[in-house]
A and B are shown apart, each in its own frame.
Chain A
Amino acid sequence: MAYNLKEVMANKPSRFTAGHRMCAGCGAPPVARMIMRALHEGDHAVVSNATGCMEVSTCIYPYTAWTDSYIHTAFECAAATCSGVEAAYKSFVKQGKLIEKDGEKTKFISFGGDGGTYDIGIQALSGAMERGHDMTYVCYDNGAYMNTGIQRSSATPKFADTTTSPAGKVIPGKMQSRKDLTQIMVSHHLPYVAQTIALANFKDLYEKAEKAIYTEGATFLNVLAPCPRGWGYPTEDLMKINKLAVDTCYWPLYEVIDGVYHITFKPAKKLPIEEFLRPQKRFKHMFKPGNEWMIEEFQKEVDKRWQELLDLEAITNK
């Protein structure tokens, strides 16, 4: 059935309720809500959440924003925790301790920010993915440790001004390029890996979430989720920022199914990277006279990674 936003919103209940305490203009809650909506009606889910903004704002005792079972343990082990829940499920089904109706399914979904995924949680993530647990790991990537107050992570883009990579008189922000976690996950030879974002009608996000959740085995979604505090954009501009990330090819949308790359959106006109950088305060210093080289270098890196992706698509579809 073709995706229709109105139908999805009207007919599928939200499994991530209003009343959570995430910031206005944060990219993460619409992502979580839409991914949970991609679950089929009647199916159950257990969510495992890494410590981070999402966890501390959606499950404050004695409240929870999650209508499905939910577990948080620590920062670096959402994937390992989820793998234990999934192992318990398998054991129960094998022993007849959990009997499900015909067609009824239980799905396992982990959510972690880039800090909990690219950095401190990468070992547990890699382990769980390699072991092939039937689970989906979702990284909502806002490009820094936002929960603790905007510290650089390995997902932080080059030159970004963060509290541990401040743009100073000598060092102009973070001096390293970002890690490409999606590629690392592809190298695990998983049945489904995708990079996505919340665009206007959520089609790309919803469809990839559904595929990830309902593909048997370990699957991975990397979702860019802007942070108004860390990135420095007006809260109402979230969807604009998302669109610019995609139109400049800073955040390409693609999926890798059994090793075959499919770029799911190719902008008719690839916008220059300034369009994405300019509205964000974290890149403000790059626009000072004399710093043109920073923008040029940033553009080169974006172009290089985009071309690599085009090449990978061409090679794997031969």
Chain B
Amino acid sequence: MSIRERLSGNEASAIAMRQINPDVVAAFPITPSTEIPQYFSTFVSNGQVDTEFVAVESEHSAMSACIGAEAAGARAMTATSANGLSFMWEMLYIASGSRLPIVLSLVNRAVSGPLNIHNDHSDAMGVRDAGWIMLFSENNQEAYDNLIMAHQIAENKDVMLPLMVCQDGFITSHSIENIELIEDDKVKDFVGKYQPEHYLLNHAEPVAMGPMDLQAYLFEHKYQQAEAMRNAKKVILDVADRFEKMTGRKYSFFEEYKLDDAEIAIVCMNSTAGTSKAVVDELRSNGIKAGLLKIRVYRPFPVEEVAKALSHLKAVAVLDKDDSVNAAGAPLFTDITSAMYACSNVHIPIVNYIYGIGGRDTTTKEISRVYEDLQEIAKTGKVENPFRYFGLRKGGK
């Protein structure tokens, strides 16, 4: 029997880490993810885990120590947010390029500057090409479930890539909601043991890692990494199947909420999906065929599947909690439009909304207005300005 609890996203993530019982955790405090290493430290202090906790002096060293530990043959985990992730940036590429399946819990927060501690997705979007598998979570339950599935995906022989589980800072990380936890022994069995092929502490076979990798080899090594990311798609689904058998909770690349017969739909990630579902239900009760596609797997990006899921719609709005500041549309929008162009034969009007920057509240009222816009677009088939904002004061002042 699963365990019913009431937990914040951070508490749920820390509990997942306790149940996973990694060999090493190296972390540095940063709002709003601080609580994760904080709760975890008490598990270490009370002897509830076998983990060596390394209280590093920076996030750069947190990721460096995780790389060292993972290369040594250990399971290594960390948690961070915003500038912490930015400070790790160099090491994120080294982790994935060295094919080390480190797992990171990312509590999404706006990257400075100016300084802001609240939620948006600029931290995650800044590392979307770092070669990490990226899973997004609507609520505490998904943050927990994604962490429990993480190692089985990342450590698969055909994958061997690091993985980050994202959840919205404060909105998810600090809100207490109902959750179903899995029993410790079931998690232990599900997560299994990590047995890398080559590792530094294998005294029978010393190994050199992180070489100088020049013109004759780097291209192939990068190709292999890209192949691993492609391979991850199947593995993510396999692990989701096993997870469903254990818990009854179903996961895929994305969640389609009343999308089958929908005419208009929103695409978004993390907690905004919860807000949008309420709006979809309201619209449905008024006979409006509204739907939602919530991205769970952002890297690898499921291009064919997304294109297929959206191609029957009359109008789509992509909500980005980040601005690429490129005068050309935010990250999720460009990913979705590129998927539609490459993998679908139909042309659907798609519009981008940038919203919620720096923790600006996102309300059902605002989401309703997006659906109103979509109804209008569906009628005319035209998008006058595809690059829009909501929740922004008039004129941006």
Contact = CB atoms under 8 A, between A and B. Distances in A.
B5 to A, nearest CB: 28
Interface size class of A (residues with CB under 8 A): 35 or more
Interface of A: 44, 46, 48, 55-56, 59-62, 64, 66-74, 76-77, 80-92, 94-95, 97-98, 100, 106, 123-124, 126-128, 130-131
B68 A82 contact: yes
Nearest to A100: B203
A64 B72 CA distance: 18
A175 B348 CA distance: 65
A71 B210 contact: yes
Interface residues of B, number: 43
Contacts of B60: 76-77, 80, 123-124
Contact of B67 (A81, A89, A98): A81
A59 to B, nearest CB: 5
B201 A92 contact: yes
A240 to B, nearest CB: 31
Given A61-B212, A130-B57, A88 B64 contact: no
B29 to A, nearest CB: 14
Given A46-B201, A69-B200, A70-B208, A88 B55 contact: no
Interface stretch (B46-54, B103-111, B128-136, B145-153): B46-54
User: Which 10 A-B residue pairs are closest in the complex by CB-CB distance?
Assistant: A84-B68, A127-B57, A84-B65, A80-B61, A88-B72, A88-B74, A80-B64, A77-B64, A72-B210, A64-B208
B211 A72 contact: yes
A205 to B, nearest CB: 24
B61 A127 contact: yes
Interface string B61-91: 1001111111111101000000000000011
A48 B68 contact: yes
Given A80-B61, A127-B56, A131-B55, A74 B214 contact: no
B210 A95 contact: no
Contacts of B94: 73-74
10 contacts: A59-B211, A61-B213, A64-B211, A69-B207, A71-B68, A77-B60, A84-B69, A85-B69, A87-B26, A100-B203
Which of A69, A124, A127, A130: most chain B Cβ within 10 A? A69
A90 B201 CA distance: 11
B138 to A, nearest CB: 32
A80 B201 contact: no
B76 A73 contact: no
A88 B76 contact: yes
Given A61-B214, A74-B64, A83 B54 contact: yes
Contacts of B71: 71, 84-85
B57 A88 contact: no
B330 interface: no
Contacts of A95: 23, 50
Contacts of B213: 61
Contacts of B200: 46, 69-71, 85
Given A70-B209, A71-B209, A84-B65, A77 B72 contact: no
A55 B209 CA distance: 11
Interface in B306-336: none
Contacts of A62: 211, 217
B362 interface: no
B64 A98 contact: no
Given A44-B203, A77-B60, A87 B65 contact: yes
B156 interface: no
A91 B57 CA distance: 20
A79 to B, nearest CB: 8
Which of B50, B67, B212: most chain A Cβ within 10 A? B212
B7 interface: no
Which of B24, B50, B214: most chain A Cβ within 10 A? B24
A117 to B, nearest CB: 15
Contact of A88 (B91, B201, B211): B201
A131 B211 CA distance: 27
B201 A81 contact: no
Contacts of A72: 209-211
B212 A81 contact: no
B222 to A, nearest CB: 13
Nearest to B54: A87
A60 B90 CA distance: 20
Contacts of A74: 64, 90-91, 94
